[in-house]
Amino acid sequence: MAGSRERSPDVTERLRALPSVEELAASLDGVPHAAAVRAARAVIAEARERILSRRGVTLPDGGHAALVDAARGWLAADARPRLRRVINATGVIVHTNLGRAPLADAARAAVAAAAAGYSNLEYDLERGERGSRQAHVEVLLRELTHAEAALVVNNCAGAVLLAAAALAAGRELVVSRGQLVEIGGSFRVPEVVAQSGARLVEVGTTNRTRLDDYRDVIGERTGAVMRAHQSNFRTIGFVEEPSIEELCSLGVPVIDDVGSGAVADRVPELADEPAVRRSVAAGAAVVCFSGDKLLGGPQAGVMLGRIDAIDACRSHPLARALRIDKLSLAALEATLRLYRDPREAERAIPVLRMLVGGEAELQARAEAMARALADAPARVIRASAKVGGGALPLLELEGPVCAVDPGELGADELARRLRSADPPVVGRTRDGWLLLDPRTVTDDEARVAAAAVVTALG
């Protein structure tokens, strides 16, 4: 082969010195044969690639022992779950890449209880007959939002799709051009409308849409009007759009995608998010929002509104495909129960607790991390945290953070080593420093993060 003729003699010699897969697997005492073969195959393939690319040297003397060690390391890494707990020291509260909202203690306990055995997921214990999984949360949602009816599916994108399909399939769905948005994962409103079977009718302009723009196109073919919250960006300046009350006065069903789910009372930080109760009170046919963002619960798509509209969604074939699973349902019920007491919700739901975190609490946690890093250049500085998850993009949550000088190691290498820790620690870098934000860690996590930095710098 042409590739073989181009190899230098030393490269050929190193390749020949590599053991066979079976030989290396046999050296892994106490390891099941199938696992030993997987490890040996992976390690030998990596060694070959390193030799051929001249990034490493495998010598005949001592090379086999090094490969055995590498294979055992590969097995240890392979035994770890792929989905792992991570310490989020980035200061981004609803971090999409890190699992969005951490669950409250009560929600985690509810998940464990539901997973431990059988449950009354779709069984009416009082009547001794088949029940509905929606019954576990519908009463709570109606109580908290004053909606006539409620339905929960697996995520907010699914909720919007289901609402559009149930109310406007084969008809027109009217949307402002300023709300034809794309959110994370290339999820675009026009594509959702297309998949629902409705025909999109655009009104207004990017920055200004008036109520008369809607009136001019509404007719016999109109199935619904949809309002889509801009979520992760804002249009400011010369802008105009009708209120939800004005849209609901048009006489056609309104689907209101409010995004992150601002249900909590008396939280000033949520003032710029559309309030769920306001949309319900205005008379929106269906109000959709996420369970795992500002609500602080599991991934879910919550749908609230009028009985006729929710029933239409409930009976649509897509509802079966989009239904919520029992573990998410258990976590959602436990989270909603916390909202019955607003003070308890702020204390017990991590997202709300991080949003309203006090200066003294954050300062104490940042200083504790800095003290734990006494042997490393670390100090407390000011920086801004973010809500994340497509919510409140303009809100800057300023506060103290622990800043670590990585020295000659460099911020990127220090960050890489922290990601390799157990549990991994994810911070953020600024001006060559690594920042550990106390807003998104607990006191215990702050200690673990500081210890990981000491190890990484050592």
Put simply, whether the predicted model's pTM sits higher than 0.85 gets the answer yes
Token readout for 48 is: 């070959």
Do 335 and 391 lie in a common domain?
A: no
Token readout for 357 is: 């975190």
Do 325 and 384 lie in a common domain?
A: no
* pLDDT at residue number 261: 80
- Interacting residues of 289 by C-beta distance below 8 A, sequence separation 6+: 156, 159, 257, 258, 259, 260, 261, 276, 295, 301, 302
Kindly write down the DSSP assignment for every residue of 202-232, as one continuous string. Answer: EES-SSB--HHHHHHH-STTEEEEEEE---S
Do 330 and 377 lie in a common domain?
A: no
Token readout for 335 is: 């989270």
Are 60 and 17 within 8 A, CB to CB?
Answer: yes
> Which residues form the domain of 8?
2-79
Tell me the CATH number at 452: 3.90.1150.180
Do 168 and 235 lie in a common domain?
A: yes
Do 357 and 344 lie in a common domain?
A: no
Do 217 and 329 lie in a common domain?
A: yes
- 427/417 Cα distance (integer angstroms): 11
Do 369 and 287 lie in a common domain?
A: no
* Three-class HEC string of 346-372: HHHCHHHHHHCCCHHHHHHHHHHHHHH
Among 315, 348, 381, residue at a domain's last position? 348
Token readout for 92 is: 């981004």
- 381/402 Cα distance (integer angstroms): 7
Which pairs from 6-12 meet CB under 8 Å and 24+ separation?
A: 7/52, 11/51, 11/52, 11/54
Angle at 293 between CA 388 and CA 249, to 5 degrees: 105
Do 206 and 240 lie in a common domain?
A: yes
Do 91 and 72 lie in a common domain?
A: no
Are 263 and 218 within 8 A, CB to CB?
Answer: no
- Interacting residues of 59 by C-beta distance below 8 A, sequence separation 6+: 14, 17
**CA nearest neighbour of 448 among 428, 416, 426:** 426
Token readout for 37 is: 């073969």
The H-assigned helical ranges of 223-338 are 244-248, 276-282, 307-314, 318-321, 326-338
* pLDDT at residue number 396: 84
- Interacting residues of 303 by C-beta distance below 8 A, sequence separation 6+: 150, 151, 152, 153, 159, 162, 163, 286, 287, 288, 310, 313
Tell me the CATH number at 183: 3.40.640.10
The H-assigned helical ranges of 103-210 are 105-115, 135-145, 156-168, 189-196
Do 67 and 174 lie in a common domain?
A: no
Tell me the CA end-to-end span of the chain in Å, nearest whole number: 47
Among 79, 114, 138, residue at a domain's last position? 79
What backbone torsions phi and psi does residue 426 show, to the nearest 5 degrees? -115, 115
Residue type, position 305, single letter: G
- 250/159 Cα distance (integer angstroms): 23
pLDDT tens by residue, the chain, 458 residues: 444 446 677 788 888 889 999 999 999 999 999 999 999 999 999 998 888 887 554 444 457 888 999 999 999 989 989 999 999 999 999 999 999 999 999 999 999 999 999 999 999 999 999 999 999 999 999 999 999 999 999 999 999 999 999 999 999 999 999 888 876 666 678 888 889 999 999 999 988 999 999 999 999 999 999 998 876 666 777 888 999 999 999 999 999 999 888 898 778 788 778 899 999 999 999 999 999 999 999 999 999 999 999 999 999 999 999 999 999 999 999 999 999 999 999 999 999 999 998 999 999 999 999 999 977 789 999 999 898 877 777 678 999 999 999 999 999 999 999 999 999 999 999 999 999 999 999 999 999 999 999 999 98
Do 336 and 360 lie in a common domain?
A: no
* pLDDT at residue number 374: 79
Are 393 and 427 within 8 A, CB to CB?
Answer: no
Do 237 and 273 lie in a common domain?
A: yes
Are 164 and 192 within 8 A, CB to CB?
Answer: yes
Domain count, the chain: 3
Among 348, 376, 410, residue at a domain's last position? 348
